[in-house]
Each structure stands twice: as structure tokens, then as C-alpha cells.
Amino acid sequence: MPNFSDTSLKNIVELRGIDQSYDNGRVEVIKGMDFLIEDKPAQGQFVVILGMSGCGKSTVLRYIAGLQKPTAGSVLINDKEVSEDNRVAMVFQQYSSLPWMTVLENVSLALDFKGISDKEKKEKAMEMIELVGLAGHENKFAQYPTLSGGQLQRIAIARSLIANPEILLMDEPFGALDINTRLQMQDLLTGLWHKFHPTIIFVTHDISEAVYLGDDIYIMKSAPSRFVEHIKVDLPFERTRNIKRDPRFVELVHQVEDTMVRVAEMG
């Protein structure tokens, strides 16, 4: 069982005693789930969730985003119930840009209700567009095939970060990308995390990706689901692709693979 004991750090996300059932309780998909993420000042955390398909990884993200309420239990952000005031952003696997809007218009959407001038909004959006490597594309419509899948996900990340979220939820955001684009997006994300310091909660099925990106990996068992394993990724904070050839990286990948097999056998 993962150790969710409190330390002196502030709690940023806590799921306490979560149950999820359907069909008037006849179908029980999550039972007795606890989950705790603490805030690391001026750094944030990069937490990765792994588990078999259908075990509830995306459901956990929806709880934190306030998009779904559990049947029982509490979902807390900064020790308070989830509300619209929480600074939480989410990036999905499916491209979420509005295709009838330009890249610039899509990225600046998050600033529409911030009470800032059009000039400032455009300046902030352009700054973020440059950070995610889309300068020169700002006036293109945000649609495929005008832009590639990787470029569309860059738009989603830029739109999420421009709102200055405290928590960034990412639900298999690179799952549909080719391998080269996926590697580029991993490096882009780590760079942005080091710059903005949000707490990132990242769902993936890719074990190598989980080890490369994450500080902590939490593994869920299948229904009735809950977190059953926690693996601390003891790699340097600053990571480049060269670390994937480090013996400790390879050892961690094998450790996570073995743990995933063991958890799958739990049923």
C-alpha cells in the first residue's frame, strides 16, 4: 500500500475514502481510495498515474478537475472541497482546440475573463506561443491538417499554462503522437514545468515516459480500484534524453514493469 502519511508540507490534492459505484451501487468500480499530493514550494510535483485500462485513472483526474463527484468520500484541493475557484487546468488526449479559431485566439481564451486589455492579452498569448514553439503559426486555424497533432497539443498546453494553474492535469496527452513528436513533447513539458512550477498529475500507459517525466509514480489496481503501489523516481531533477541510457533509469523502468505485472495479477 502507498504511504500517504502527512509531512510538514502543505497538502495540495487529497482524495479521502473515495468510493465510486453505478447502477444503484450494484457496480462498484472504486473502493476505499486514498490519494495525497503535497506541495513542494517553488518546484511543484510531477506525479504520474499508471494502471490497467479501465481502472479509473481518468476518473481520478475528473474528480480533481471538479468534472465528476464520487459516490462517497472527499476530494480536497488545498484542504478545501473542489470548487470553481481552484486553479486547475486539464489537457486531454483528444485535441481540444476550437478549429474555427486561430492559434492566437485559442491560447488567449483562458484570459477572456481575466479583465485585462486586448493588447495585454495578445502579448501574453504570444509569449506563451513562443514558449511552446508555435511562433509563426499564431494566425493559422487550429485544425488538422493545417497543424500537426503535436502542434495542436502544444496549443492545449499553452492555453492551460497561460491561466497560471496551480494544478495541471494531463490525460494521456501524447498517446496519439508519433514517437519523435512524443519525445519532443516530453522535453517541452519538462522545460515548462521547470519554468512555471505547477503540480502536474499525468496519466500514461508508457512506462519509460512515466519514469522520464515523473518524481513519483502511483499505480492503481483494477476494479474495485485503488492505489496500491508508490515508486519514488530517484533521478536528477533536471533530465535530458541521455538519462534514458543511465543504468538507474533502466533499473527503474524494469522495476515499474515488474510492479505493473504484479498489480495486474491482483485482479
Q: What pLDDT digit, counting tens, does each position of 215-265 carry?
A: 999 999 998 899 999 999 999 988 899 999 999 999 999 999 999 999 998
134 occurs within a structural domain: yes
> Could you list the residue range(s) of the whole structural domain that residue 126 is in?
98-164
Q: Is the pLDDT of residue 1 over 60?
A: no
The CA distance from 93 to 177, in Å, is 10
Asked if the model's pLDDT at residue 42 lies above 60, the reply is: yes
Q: How far apart are CA 35 and CA 14, in angstroms?
A: 6
Mean pLDDT for 9-32 is 90
Q: Once rounded to an integer, what is the mean pLDDT over residues 177-206?
A: 94
The confidence score (pLDDT) of residue 267 equals 64
Residues in contact with 236: Cβ distance below 8 Å, sequence separation at least 6, in sequence order: 243
Q: Are 172 and 93 in contact (CB under 8 A)?
A: yes
Domain annotation covers residue 119: yes
Q: Rounded to an integer, what distance in angstroms lies between the CA atom of residue 107 and that of residue 159?
A: 4
Q: Does residue 4 carry a pLDDT above 80?
A: no
Structurally, how many domains does the chain consist of? Answer: 1
- Tell me which of 81 and 24 has the higher pLDDT: 81
Report yes or no on 159 lying in a domain.
yes
Q: Note whether residue 192 is domain-resident.
A: no
Residue 69 lies in a domain: no
81 domain-assigned: no
Could you please report the per-residue DSSP string of 126-173? HHHHHHTT-TT-TTSBS-TTTS-HHHHHHHHHHHHHHT--SEEEEEST
> Is 80 exceeded by the pLDDT of residue 49?
yes
The set of cell numbers assigned to 161 is 499554462
pLDDT above 70 covers a percentage of the chain that reads: 97
Q: Is residue 144 part of a domain?
A: yes
HEC string for 86-111: CCEEEECCCCCCCCCCEHHHHHHHHH
